[in-house]
Amino acid sequence: MSAIEVRNISKAFRGHRAVDGVSFTVEPGTVTGFLGPNGAGKTTTLRCLLGLVRPDRGEGLFGGRPYASLPAPASEVGAVLEANNLHPGRSGRNHLRTLCDAEGLPLSRADEVLDEVGIAEAGGKRVAGYSMGMRQRLSLAGALLGDPRVLILDEPANGLDPRGIDWLRRFLDYQAHERGVAVLVSSHVLAEVEQTVDNVVIIARGRLVHQGTLSELTGGGESLHEAFLRLTDQENSEQPVGGSR
């Protein structure tokens, strides 16, 4: 059974089809890049998968169960949708502690994950004083609290400097290939993911256009960049708007 299974998800907002029958799977021990142009429906797909948005059709499953039916969701799935889902007036450590409370974890986990993402010294500072990169790391720390077997990260490299991106690559590599975590990471910046991902899922205009291994896609001498442009630019129909929120 796949760690993540997206099964035929469709979602329309005010008549506009943001996601249209998208299906794919993610296996344990792999990093899957979820790629597509801005507004292709990546974020909406992830929100449907995680139960924040109710899909019109289809469902998302984790080991065969919908997110809302998982007995302890945060200890099975760690997800970061936006690095700005943080209260600016609360310290990083207190943010994590509110999550420890809700997840029934000891408060000491907060300091452990702060250390794991490399911002232990900023734990006592209010989030208002954090850089975008520190917010990304704090959000990631929140996803790690329950020591999950699945990680879902939406545009995790946004706001990271080159050193941060390098750190993120090594982090994802470690999680998937050393610890056996199933990692799904969305991105619209191909250079970020090319060195990290094992598999790619590409969507455009709300529809799946490709799922397979990275080596399959680039095996014929085509770069990921060229393949991406070819796959996502087949039709000249109007680019959907408003699908990324």
Which residues of the chain form contacts with another protein (CB under 8 A)? 13, 44, 47, 50-54, 67-68, 70, 73-74, 79, 81-82, 84-91, 94-95, 97-99, 101-104, 142, 245
Shorter beta-carbon distance to another protein: residue 197 or 206 = 206
Q: Considering all CA atoms of the chain, what is the largest pairwise distance in Å, rounded to the nearest integer? A: 53
Shorter beta-carbon distance to another protein: residue 81 or 119 = 81
In angstroms, what is the C-alpha Rg of the chain? 18
Shorter beta-carbon distance to another protein: residue 73 or 240 = 73
d(CA 28, CA 200): 15
Residue 110 CB, nearest approach to another protein (Å) = 11
Residue 71 CB, nearest approach to another protein (Å) = 11
Residue 100 CB, nearest approach to another protein (Å) = 8
Residue 210 CB, nearest approach to another protein (Å) = 26
d(CA 26, CA 21): 17
The separation between the first and the last C-alpha atoms of the chain, rounded to the nearest angstrom, is: 30
Shorter beta-carbon distance to another protein: residue 73 or 133 = 73
CA nearest 18: which of 48, 47, 46, 39?
Answer: 39
d(CA 157, CA 115): 19
SS3 177: helix
